[in-house]
């Protein structure tokens, strides 16, 4: 298929500069990092990366700021986050432009990512008056037993390219109301988006009369992240990215008895039962498998369809895949933008080659687009592959729009297949059978951190806690009581009895 028209790199550079200018960012000229766009696959600007001295200075400043921020009343800390939310509303389009330019997201998903940031700010402002501790019944007369929650320290946020702004906001909005300060090491693939977020937070801090150093940005590659990981002043390392990264970060933070919150790779599946509403299932599956060009941690990668409906379902899916508009993510008709880089494309090709060797049959997609007109960009047709079972490549996360379809006969078999992968992030079932739905959500059902009924695996709301089990890392971020990871608790016993009673009836003196 031909006819994909892309903007030029010069146009994208001008659009990025205009958005940065409106947000009031001055791009730090220098060396060490290249801002680039997956829309054309070409470079935009050279930028200065943080060196060891810059990292040391930022950590010292964030630690100093913590010493005063921790005693600022939480509702006043919430005022800073409220201001950030207002600025995000004002600059939603600007941030969305940068996200599309750097991460290649289609327009509505880029705007949606900023909406998620606004939502978490609203949530965190409410939270700033609800950091509750419990009062516990004491076994001793005239004693009060309770828990109090205190700020933790500097939080080091390390984030991935595919949610270049939202993941930062999930961590930062909550950490700030909890009384922590933040040092952020964004993905080296999305520096411009992070410069804009950092500037908006600095403006919010000015307006709210908060210390500037409650937040510091460190641009650079993993070497900068490693400095955060190893620094004892960083009380919590919240790291989002591949399982490979988590395997390195987790033990290093643990070795110095720091805390880590890991949000790593997923290999998400949906079970489609014979009773499922197939119209709804097809729409849910296509969004979950193809949205963000298959580059969400919650992307649907495995479809486990009942044998009786598998052929019908696969037929409808391949029809839908053939009509997917692929191309310029700024074009509102486009549903599939580019992969982040050609490395991701080669990773998908490699997985397609391996799955064929393991008995898979390609049913749709898999071809590269625009290779001639945009040789450095990575546009690809989302692929559907029928597989005989859960072979080795199916059990891995390939970060691209590649959906494996397998069949089941009994519900127990579906659950067993579903859980038989190393990752445990998101899951769903399409069914009209309530017993099946409840079993899927029960202790003997999905082993994931997110389990849905009649909706796909991706597109979570900020109100619930987000995260997964097994090789996904076990962390929880965003809503519910995920805030507790950003604070430390103390158990307090207050004796107002006038006498000294020991617990467990111990007598002494």
Active-site residue flag, 31:
no
Q: Which is nearer to ligand NAD, 198 or 263 (CB)?
A: 263
63/172 Cα distance (integer angstroms): 15
Burial category of 134 from C-beta neighbours within 10 Å (exposed 0-12, middle 13-18, buried 19 and up) = exposed
Q: Which is nearer to ligand NAD, 78 or 337 (CB)?
A: 337
Q: Which is nearer to ligand NAD, 211 or 266 (CB)?
A: 266
Phi, psi of 64, deg, nearest 5? -60, -45
Residue span binding ligand NAD (CB under 6 A) among the ranges 21-29, 84-92, 111-119, 259-267: 259-267
Residue with tokens 């940005």: 217
Residue span binding ligand NAD (CB under 6 A) among the ranges 131-139, 147-155, 195-203, 241-249: 241-249
Cα(first)–Cα(last) distance of the chain, in Å?
A: 89
346/189 Cα distance (integer angstroms): 18
Selected binder of ligand NAD within 178, 210, 281, 297 (CB under 6 A): 297
Residue span binding ligand NAD (CB under 6 A) among the ranges 52-60, 65-73, 90-98, 243-251: 243-251
Q: How far is the CB of 153 from ligand NAD (least distance, A)?
A: 18
Q: Which is nearer to ligand NAD, 144 or 252 (CB)?
A: 252
Given CA atoms 390, 395, 400, 401 in this order, what sign does their dihedral have? positive
Q: How many residues in the shown chain lie near ligand NAD by CB under 6 A?
A: 30
| Contact flag: residue 70 with ligand NAD (CB under 6 A) | no
| Contact flag: residue 399 with ligand NAD (CB under 6 A) | yes
Q: Which is nearer to ligand NAD, 187 or 457 (CB)?
A: 187
Other Cβ atoms within 10 Å of 132 Cβ, number: 10
Closest CA to 19 of 117, 90, 124: 90
| Contact flag: residue 116 with ligand NAD (CB under 6 A) | no
| Contact flag: residue 79 with ligand NAD (CB under 6 A) | no
Catalytic residue, candidates 102, 109, 263, 436: 263
Q: Is the Cβ–Cβ distance between 194 and 167 less than 8 Å? A: no
Q: How far is the CB of 148 from ligand NAD (least distance, A)?
A: 30
Q: Which is nearer to ligand NAD, 379 or 399 (CB)?
A: 399
Q: How does strand 423-424 pair with strand 469-470?
A: antiparallel
Q: Which is nearer to ligand NAD, 286 or 425 (CB)?
A: 425
Residue span binding ligand NAD (CB under 6 A) among the ranges 82-90, 126-134, 258-266, 281-289: 258-266
Residue span binding ligand NAD (CB under 6 A) among the ranges 4-12, 83-91, 237-245, 439-447: 237-245
* Cα 383 to the center of its chain, rounded Å: 23
Which residues from 126-165 bind ligand NAD, rule CB under 6 A?
158-163
Q: What is the CA radius of gyration of the chain?
A: 24
Give Dmax over CA atoms of the chain in angstroms: 90
Q: How far is the CB of 195 from ligand NAD (least distance, A)?
A: 15
Cα distances (angstroms) measured from residue 325 to each of 77, 440, 444, 459: 44, 34, 40, 20
227/207 Cα distance (integer angstroms): 31
Which residues from 422-481 bind ligand NAD, rule CB under 6 A?
425, 472
Selected binder of ligand NAD within 9, 37, 100, 187 (CB under 6 A): 187
Burial category of 141 from C-beta neighbours within 10 Å (exposed 0-12, middle 13-18, buried 19 and up) = exposed
Give the angle 222-223-228 at the CA atoms, nearest 5°: 90
Q: Is the Cβ–Cβ distance between 474 and 465 less than 8 Å? A: no
Selected binder of ligand NAD within 188, 198, 231, 436 (CB under 6 A): 188
Q: How far is the CB of 266 from ligand NAD (least distance, A)?
A: 5
| Contact flag: residue 264 with ligand NAD (CB under 6 A) | yes
Selected binder of ligand NAD within 41, 179, 266, 338 (CB under 6 A): 266
Q: How far is the CB of 396 from ligand NAD (least distance, A)?
A: 10
* Cα 393 to the center of its chain, rounded Å: 23
307/7 Cα distance (integer angstroms): 45
Phi, psi of 381, deg, nearest 5? -75, 125
Q: How far is the CB of 109 from ligand NAD (least distance, A)?
A: 14
SS3 state of residue 268: strand
Q: Which is nearer to ligand NAD, 69 or 399 (CB)?
A: 399
Cα distances (angstroms) measured from residue 10 to each of 18, 94, 130, 370: 12, 17, 48, 18
Selected binder of ligand NAD within 33, 117, 245, 380 (CB under 6 A): 245
Give the angle 469-472-474 at the CA atoms, nearest 5°: 45
Selected binder of ligand NAD within 56, 64, 207, 248 (CB under 6 A): 248
Which residues from 214-233 bind ligand NAD, rule CB under 6 A?
221-222, 225-226, 229
Q: Is the Cβ–Cβ distance between 233 and 198 less than 8 Å? A: no
Q: Which positions lie near ligand NAD, rule CB under 6 A?
A: 158-163, 167, 185, 187-188, 221-222, 225-226, 229, 240-242, 245, 248-249, 263-266, 297, 397, 399, 425, 472
* Catalytic sites, residue numbers: 263
């Amino acid at each position: 298929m031909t006819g994909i028209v892309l903007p030029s790199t010069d146009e994208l550079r001008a659009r990025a500069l205009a958005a940065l200018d409106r947000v009031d960012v001055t791009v730090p000229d220098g060396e060490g990092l290249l801002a680039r766009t997956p829309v054309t696959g070409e470079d935009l600007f050279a930028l200065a990366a943080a060196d060891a001295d810059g990292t040391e200075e930022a950590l010292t400043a964030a630690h100093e700021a913590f010493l005063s921020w921790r005693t600022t009343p939480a509702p006043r800390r919430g005022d800073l986050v409220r201001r950030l939310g207002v600025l995000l509303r004002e600059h939603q389009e600007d941030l969305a432009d940068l996200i599309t330019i750097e991460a290649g997201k289609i327009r509505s998903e880029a705007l949606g990512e900023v909406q998620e940031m606004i939502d978490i700010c609203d949530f965190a402002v409410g939270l700033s008056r609800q950091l509750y501790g419990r009062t516990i019944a004491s076994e001793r007369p005239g004693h009060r037993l309770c828990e109090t929650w205190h700020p933790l320290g500097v939080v080091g946020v390390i984030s991935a390219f595919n949610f270049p702004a939202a993941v930062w906001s999930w961590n930062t909005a909550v950490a700030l109301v909890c009384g922590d300060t933040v040092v952020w090491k964004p993905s080296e693939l999305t520096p411009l988006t992070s410069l804009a977020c950092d500037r908006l937070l600095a403006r919010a801090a000015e307006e709210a009369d908060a210390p500037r150093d409650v937040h510091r940005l460190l641009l650079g590659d993993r070497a900068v992240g490693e400095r955060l990981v190893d620094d004892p002043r960083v009380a919590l390392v919240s790291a989002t990215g591949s399982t490979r990264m988590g395997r390195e970060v987790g033990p290093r933070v643990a070795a110095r008895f720091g805390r880590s919150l890991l949000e790593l790779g997923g290999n998400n599946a949906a079970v489609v039962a014979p009773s499922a509403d197939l119209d709804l299932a097809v729409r849910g599956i296509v969004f979950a498998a193809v949205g963000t060009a298959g580059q969400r941690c919650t992307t649907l990668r495995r479809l486990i369809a009942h044998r009786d409906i598998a052929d019908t379902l696969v037929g409808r899916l391949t029809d839908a895949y053939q009509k997917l508009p692929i191309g310029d993510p700024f074009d509102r008709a486009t549903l599939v933008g580019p992969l982040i880089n050609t490395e991701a494309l080669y990773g998908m090709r490699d997985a397609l080659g391996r799955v064929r060797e393991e008995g898979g049959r390609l049913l749709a997609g898999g071809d590269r687009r625009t290779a001639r007109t945009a040789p450095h960009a990575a546009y690809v047709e989302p692929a559907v592959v029928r597989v005989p079972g859960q072979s080795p490549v199916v059990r891995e996360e390939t970060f691209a729009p590649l959906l494996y379809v397998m069949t089941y006969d009994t519900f127990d078999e579906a659950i067993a297949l579903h859980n038989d992968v190393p990752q445990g992030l998101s899951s769903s079932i399409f069914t009209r059978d309530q017993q099946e739905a409840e079993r899927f959500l029960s202790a003997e059902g999905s082993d994931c951190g997110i389990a849905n009924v009649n909706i796909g695996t991706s597109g979570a709301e900020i109100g619930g806690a987000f995260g997964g089990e097994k090789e996904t890392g076990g962390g929880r971020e965003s809503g519910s009581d995920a805030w507790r990871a950003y604070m430390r608790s103390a158990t307090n016993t207050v004796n107002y009895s006038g006498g000294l009673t020991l617990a467990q009836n111990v007598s002494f003196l």
